[in-house]
Structure 1
């Protein structure tokens, strides 16, 4: 024993380690005695099984740590409790009861005319008959008017002549497809010009830090965000050797980041926001590590209209050698013309990609967005090249293969018609409307404006604990308004556009009345209102169950159309 113990010691070993090493030596000697008469094959098999079990346990704990980090310890607790048969049964019963009530309510509201089609008509209809049928169905939709909209966001243009021009240009190029650029060079050139015009507006200049900005058009903000994140993942894997990618996002980041994390196998690291709902810079500093491929910032964030500090985030990204994506889907065509906003685009060294929607404040029709990169080297990771297909050599620059040349052409037409002067005018109107709404809200007893950034989004919550902001929304729905509903904290917002900015004064008047009517209801609710559902979703700590309910509701929405 003394010999074995002495062999383990080194001349420089501190005396404090001697008791522990002696204990270890004693255990090793005891183990040798127990295995002295064991068959060698048993020892090998036992060691292998033990090692396998230990490795599996190690990876299980790593996976558990990862899920706790992304979803929280509370999620782990509820997942464990929900696995119990009695709890699982109770949750299923309550969930089924809630969905059955919603199903019955939606069934009452289901339009009976025209009857729902379930198969192809036996015989094709005439052109006139199809047009009549389409017009009949369109009457069910919210009617678009150039001004006076009561809807948050959604409708951005307030110029009937502009709308008709876009429709005309679209129809002229509806047959074209940029995938076949040799046959349709016009739309390929138009796409290139849309990208160049957008890049220049967002800080690309020969003397700036990012003189080689490039990009492509996509079908919308979500695709632009997904495309940029996927390209960044592949770039980081090849250039930095990152095989376990992580992406840092604020809790207010657009929901598309959750899709990207799910689709592309990226760990989502969520950080909080400050008192003005901007991404918490100190939390980002703590979260970034060697596996971070991307910091995701918003200008502005959808919920509260907060503009993240891009300069501070870019400094972190440069220092840690990771990428920085700026989501400017909402703000891309407004904030460049707002003098109160600090640089947030490619004027800032460290910004590597951006997403900006041309079908919002770019005033193109739906199905149009732009993704931008600070270099062609990063953009190439968006491409898909197939070398060994029997159909020939294949290269596609985007997730979609065929794309609508009509959408590209009408986007080009929108930018050409508006010009810098036109977008400046829209930005001035929207910012003035936001200031007017913020001032009006501050005069309504019981409401408070959230955040201090003045952008196109104005959010407000309740300053009175007894005032249910979701019931206020139900009252506003009865008055014809379609506001956006937020959670954590409970709030509403209005996204101001050219189509609804003239309605700001009426919004303030109706909100003041709605607050009084909500107080008169006490703990009552509006018939057919959604306040109980929002209250349940906000108050239920088990977010997994909330997600399951949302999936059931989505099924109902697809069913009852």
Structure 2
């Protein structure tokens, strides 16, 4: 074994006092060679949190310290708030790990990764009934980090196309607006705010949680760049009636495109409701986004943005670059990104095929329906649609009872004590008096796990019924103060308490992606 101190150039001077060579290359102190991570000095020190440390830490110690801290996070498989995939097969995990170092944007160096993206775009576009190019050209689309980026791209394309048309007609092009449901995910608010687009909302009611097609079309004017329709809202999982919006636009002769936010439903509806018209079969649908990391069954983060044809993606949004060695077209907000998730998407599609996806989605739908029936028997009011008419999730609330001292948030806290993350939230603006809970049924949520959750829901209700009012009050206070915990304060004080978003204005809870 060669001691590092002996490996030095002739012109380097060793200073015993500083134990450094030229004050740059520190020599390890042999007293810091440990046989056990928890016997090291690092185990008795606070981990760095504001300033990068001067010295090094042994890799085993650094890895163990981080693992220990992350072990305090929740179990992803018990996080029923999130739509994001928490299970993939070992074979593709190994392939994705091998691809961590690949920069996907470098088409010259990694041409097969780029080809895999094109295959995915073509497969997904045809799954969504995109018109096939007679010359065999690739479908118009791209991979993204997730649906948020895909939605930004779709919004930009609609805005630029509207502006080009207005400029050609010699009309004012400075006041674009977009029509959408107040139950949209926050990324739609971001897209409108970031790109200076006025938001025109169709508000939910206490009995309707999806967009009203008539009201949506009534809001369209000469400045409207498009209408957003959601295939599976984050609140109740319902599909909005895209066909009704399309038909009204056609009937009235209105030249207004539709973008379908199929973040969650894009990989569900084609297999459970193949005859449901929501995609490119409708002439007004010009673009669609879908999340590969939701029911596309890939780890986060990968999404897809697709357009009916090149005419709906203005040329000025596409940039040709060659500095990485080959001419390539780029039309994403992000540039460098890993290739692993795109490869993971391709694996799932060729591994499962339509039959495999259909089998998984049918199972999830059956489990969601079973859970709905069991919760009904407990007296819960089911807010979501079953039998495959919406996403495989269960949204529910407690039955009205003026004498009950606990609410949905209290039930959620009880379940969290058992490890389950079942979110409690208020509905969208104009219906925010409704409180509800939601269970997202994902691929790894088997019937056995469903039974375990149902048992814990029963126990939670029994415990709450037996508690006195003082204890219930403590629970409710804990839930109110939960977000005030120091570990949850990730926003700089300057940006807390904003009032421009629906969250800030109404206390709306944006569904978890």
| TM-score relative to the length of structure 2 | 0.74
Matching residue of 1:190: 116
- Confirm or deny that 1:284 pairs with 2:210: no
What CA distance in whole angstroms lies between the structure 2 residues aligned with 1:283 and 1:373? 26
Kept in 1, the 8 Å contact 2:161–2:312? The answer is: yes
Q: Structure 1, residues 384-437: CA drift from partner, whole Å, max 9, x if none? A: 5389x9xx9996321112222233223222322222122111101111011111
Cα distance change on mapping 1:124 and 1:415 into 2, 3 Å? farther
Match of 2:418 among 479, 501, 508: 479
What CA distance in whole angstroms lies between the structure 1 residues aligned with 2:149 and 2:412? 31
- For the residue of structure 1 that corresponds to 2:204, the secondary structure is coil
Alignment map for 1:68-217 (pairs within 5 Å): 115-144=47-76, 149=78, 151-154=80-83, 156-159=85-88, 162=89, 164-206=90-132, 213-217=139-143
Cα distance change on mapping 1:181 and 1:150 into 2, 3 Å? closer
Matching residue of 1:433: 367
- Confirm or deny that 1:245 pairs with 2:171: no
Matching residue of 1:449: 382
1:195 to partner: Cα distance: 0.9
What CA distance in whole angstroms lies between the structure 2 residues aligned with 1:121 and 1:403? 28
- Confirm or deny that 1:352 pairs with 2:286: yes
Bigger-Rg structure (1/2)? 1
- Confirm or deny that 1:461 pairs with 2:415: no
Alignment map for 1:330-341 (pairs within 5 Å): 330-339=264-273
1:306 to partner: Cα distance: 0.9
- Confirm or deny that 1:362 pairs with 2:296: yes
Cα RMSD, aligned residues only: 3.5
Structure 2 residues not aligned, in runs of 5+: 1-42, 168-172, 427-431, 485-497, 508-513
What CA distance in whole angstroms lies between the structure 1 residues aligned with 2:46 and 2:93? 27
Give the helix-richer structure, 1 or 2: 1
Q: Structure 1, residues 259-290: CA drift from partner, whole Å, max 9, x if none? A: 01110001111112363422112211321111
Match of 2:319 among 385, 388, 398: 385
Alignment map for 1:222-241 (pairs within 5 Å): 222-241=148-167
Cα distance change on mapping 1:479 and 1:127 into 2, 3 Å? closer
Cα distance change on mapping 1:530 and 1:257 into 2, 3 Å? farther
- For the residue of structure 1 that corresponds to 2:400, the secondary structure is coil
1:232 to partner: Cα distance: 1.1
1:367 to partner: Cα distance: 1.2
Matching residue of 1:398: 332
Moved more, 132-141 or 526-535: 526-535
Kept in 1, the 8 Å contact 2:499–2:505? The answer is: no
What CA distance in whole angstroms lies between the structure 2 residues aligned with 1:222 and 1:112? 42
Kept in 1, the 8 Å contact 2:85–2:299? The answer is: no
Q: Structure 1, residues 52-102: CA drift from partner, whole Å, max 9, x if none? A: xxxxxxxxxxxxxxxxxxxxxxxxxxxxxxxxxxxxxxxxxxxxxxxxxxx
- Confirm or deny that 1:417 pairs with 2:351: yes
- For the residue of structure 1 that corresponds to 2:266, the secondary structure is coil
1:131 to partner: Cα distance: 3.4
What CA distance in whole angstroms lies between the structure 2 residues aligned with 1:350 and 1:280? 17
Q: Structure 1, residues 6-63: CA drift from partner, whole Å, max 9, x if none? A: xxxxxxxxxxxxxxxxxxxxxxxxxxxxxxxxxxxxxxxxxxxxxxxxxxxxxxxxxx
Kept in 2, the 8 Å contact 1:271–1:280? The answer is: yes
- For the residue of structure 2 that corresponds to 1:352, the secondary structure is strand
- Confirm or deny that 1:496 pairs with 2:441: yes
What CA distance in whole angstroms lies between the structure 1 residues aligned with 2:502 and 2:48? 31
Cα distance change on mapping 1:303 and 1:294 into 2, 3 Å? same
- For the residue of structure 1 that corresponds to 2:265, the secondary structure is coil
Q: Structure 1, residues 210-242: CA drift from partner, whole Å, max 9, x if none? A: x98521000012111111111111111112444
What CA distance in whole angstroms lies between the structure 1 residues aligned with 2:376 and 2:272? 23
- For the residue of structure 1 that corresponds to 2:313, the secondary structure is helix
Cα distance change on mapping 1:171 and 1:486 into 2, 3 Å? same
Kept in 1, the 8 Å contact 2:131–2:308? The answer is: no
- Confirm or deny that 1:258 pairs with 2:206: no
- For the residue of structure 1 that corresponds to 2:438, the secondary structure is strand
Give the length in aligned residue pairs.
425
What CA distance in whole angstroms lies between the structure 2 residues aligned with 1:481 and 1:113? 32
Matching residue of 1:311: 243
What CA distance in whole angstroms lies between the structure 1 residues aligned with 2:501 and 2:264? 31
Structure 1 residues not aligned, in runs of 5+: 1-110, 537-541, 552-561
Kept in 2, the 8 Å contact 1:334–1:426? The answer is: no
Cα distance change on mapping 1:471 and 1:544 into 2, 3 Å? farther
